[in-house]
Chains A and B, each alone.
Chain A
């Protein structure tokens, strides 16, 4: 099914992209386009899967049965997102097994935000509000990206992310209207998650390696800095509504630009986490490795059974 061998005329390909025609799995495409997409979609899929962990950390401790149900459903959604995205990447001629192997071997990246710890219940609110919020801003344009299966997966995902953000905001709202301790918990979570959320939009445009070509191919429709600005502009009024303070002294409305100005992001911290030195990098990867290793005998059993009984299990229930 992979069409890597077919000669692609780069000009013709670019014309199709410029004309807004979606590229589908069976179409010819430049190798670099395919590779860029595989890298991006698989990173995105891994982020969904690793992203289950910090929030999963609070499922068994959620403070009410309703919150527990919402959180369980949310973390399950993230697994579903991983599934759609692995499937979208598979249309490009790579297998899920290969992608997972790369993740577990530390060769593939996932969003660095998940290398921060969830220390209190408010972190679950902050993640929904800020992390899902950032994700939506990054992902909504991808619903219109040039590669059909990726665009379609993203439509479905964005719908669910919108719920996640609303639910996260709702947790923050309840905490910020709650006791003094709860309000402090919410503020502390905002303090810790604000800057990492800004980093989610990727390196600043002047340092972004892949941006120009990806924008030409319509895999990326806005620059990192544009997306980040959009996130800040959207989020500041929400923080004000919550009565919480964004931990940035330089943050202020700039009437000339029609945007909020904000302070310098600590890119050394970002790079350090990308290098593997975040507070939870090792733990997160280890959790995935353990799940995969401990599940090996289950997967082997299912495969062995399917081989013995090619027509599948007779349902005896």
Chain B
């Protein structure tokens, strides 16, 4: 089994899956009907992407695990998503900050992946990049509106941006899997995405009258399966039926 490729696909798939799961918590509870619909669109796009990545991961692994077995029957330590996406949705500012930090990175990463030496990755990334472009446009728009809205929204937006900042470093971290993938032309040098990501953050926050957080310390671990305590609850909810009725078709 090509372990580098498998791990790489799990990371992409789990990022999309867990963020989609978080976003879907808003369905029916959004601040205004149009937002309820728009957020659900993003959740659906990400879920669709997760299914592509995880199906491919299952094929690469070749051990009989399909997208559902990978999504519903792995425990916390085997999930490979970054810590950012598992953070609670909180208020709309936290959801927006989480989404913006991720979208800005995701769009760049997918742009690189669309040139992957692996044709299947390139094809998935090419399609996903178009969706991510729209997600980013939307989250930029909300960062600006909330940042430069009322005193309350500004305060909430700044708090959320600050609180989630420490989970952004992991997006650009290169470990042995990433280095091996880069060597084979499968994926990009993630460190190189940091500068353009930072430009996007600075430009957006300037327009939103927000301060770019100054914190230096970055949390890490998600990519190796060392998560925050929150992921366990996400999985407990998501996996309930498959765990309670093992081996059933749904």
Contacts and interface: CB of A to CB of B under 8 A. Distances in A.
Q: Do A and B come from one complex?
A: yes
Interface in B47-81: 47-48, 50-51, 54, 67-68, 71-72
Contacts of B24: 59-60, 68, 72
A299 B31 contact: yes
A61 interface: yes
A235 interface: no
A298 B146 contact: yes
B217 interface: no
Contact of B150 (A49, A52, A300): A300
Nearest to A55: B28
Contact of B33 (A53, A62, A79): A79
B200 to A, nearest CB: 8
Nearest to A53: B28
A182 B245 contact: yes
Contact of A64 (B32, B48, B68, B148): B68
A296 B17 CA distance: 29
> Considering residues A53, A76, A178, A181, which has the most beta carbons from chain B within 10 angstroms of its beta carbon?
A76
B150 A56 contact: no
B149 A295 contact: no
A280 to B, nearest CB: 13
B44 A181 contact: no
A41 to B, nearest CB: 15
A290 interface: yes
A56 B28 contact: yes
Contacts of A313: 141, 144-145
A314 B140 CA distance: 10
Contact of B40 (A64, A75, A178, A305): A75
A295 B248 CA distance: 39
B92 A295 contact: yes
B21 interface: yes
B43 A72 contact: yes
Interface of A: 49, 52-53, 56, 59-69, 72-73, 75-76, 79-80, 82-83, 86, 121, 171, 174, 178-179, 181-182, 287, 290-291, 294-302, 304-305, 308-309, 313-317
Given A60-B24, A63-B250, A79-B28, 10 more contacts: A59-B24, A64-B242, A76-B27, A79-B37, A83-B34, A178-B248, A178-B249, A297-B150, A300-B149, A301-B146
6 contacts: A63-B250, A64-B68, A79-B40, A179-B245, A315-B140, A316-B207
